[in-house]
Homo-oligomer: A and B are copies of this chain.
Amino acid sequence: MTIFHRMPGHLIRRLNQIAVSIFQDRMQGLGLDLTPVQFAALDALSDNPGIDQATLAGMIAHDRVTIGGVVDRLQTKGLVTRSVNEKDRRSRRLVLTEAGEAMLARIVPVVSDLQDEILCGLSDDERAAFIALASKAAEAGNDRSRAPLKIRA
């Protein structure tokens, strides 16, 4: 065990690797093919129907290019519709299909449930402490990210 393994950068990467793997296992268990970003996009679109890709990107802290690809795949799967916004022909209006809403309703409880599994090594108190610290750090570092979270006013 070198000091490398105690560095925040490494630990955070490891936790992310574990979280993504657990997410994938759960989806596979349901026979679904959905990634964490795709879930985030569906969730944000359900709460904010009709937004464009750049706004969506800001809501879930991704860059526009990545979200373009994610929306492509959600559209191919029939979960999202993408149409030119006639009020601003640069942007695309994104709306969940019925299948998209149904998919989201089905997986929301699963995704909520799996969150505890990511931190299964921690007690309830420790998990709460971790979430509080992680929230604080993520908020403080928001502007250091390439794709900051942009919460609408």
Interchain CB contact (< 8 A) of A11 among B6, B47, B138, B151? B138
Interchain CB contact (< 8 A) of A133 among B117, B118, B122? B122
Interface size bracket, A side: 35 or more
Q: B-facing mask of A118-129, CB < 8 A → 1, else 0? A: 111110001101
Assess whether A12 is in contact with B115, with CB atoms less than 8 Å apart. no
Copies in the complex: 2
Assess whether B144 is in contact with A122, with CB atoms less than 8 Å apart. no
Majority DSSP secondary structure for residues of A touching B = helix
A77 at the interface (CB under 8 A from B): no
Assess whether A136 is in contact with B121, with CB atoms less than 8 Å apart. yes
Interchain CB contact (< 8 A) of A141 among B9, B118, B136? B118
Assess whether A1 is in contact with B115, with CB atoms less than 8 Å apart. no
Q: Spell out A's residues near B (CB within 8 Å).
A: 1-19, 21-23, 25, 36, 40, 43-44, 47, 60-61, 111-112, 114-115, 117-122, 126-127, 129-131, 133-142, 144-147, 149, 151
For this complex, 10 residue pairs linking A to B, each with C-beta atoms less than 8 Å apart, are: A9-B118, A12-B16, A13-B36, A15-B138, A17-B146, A18-B144, A22-B141, A118-B141, A122-B133, A122-B140
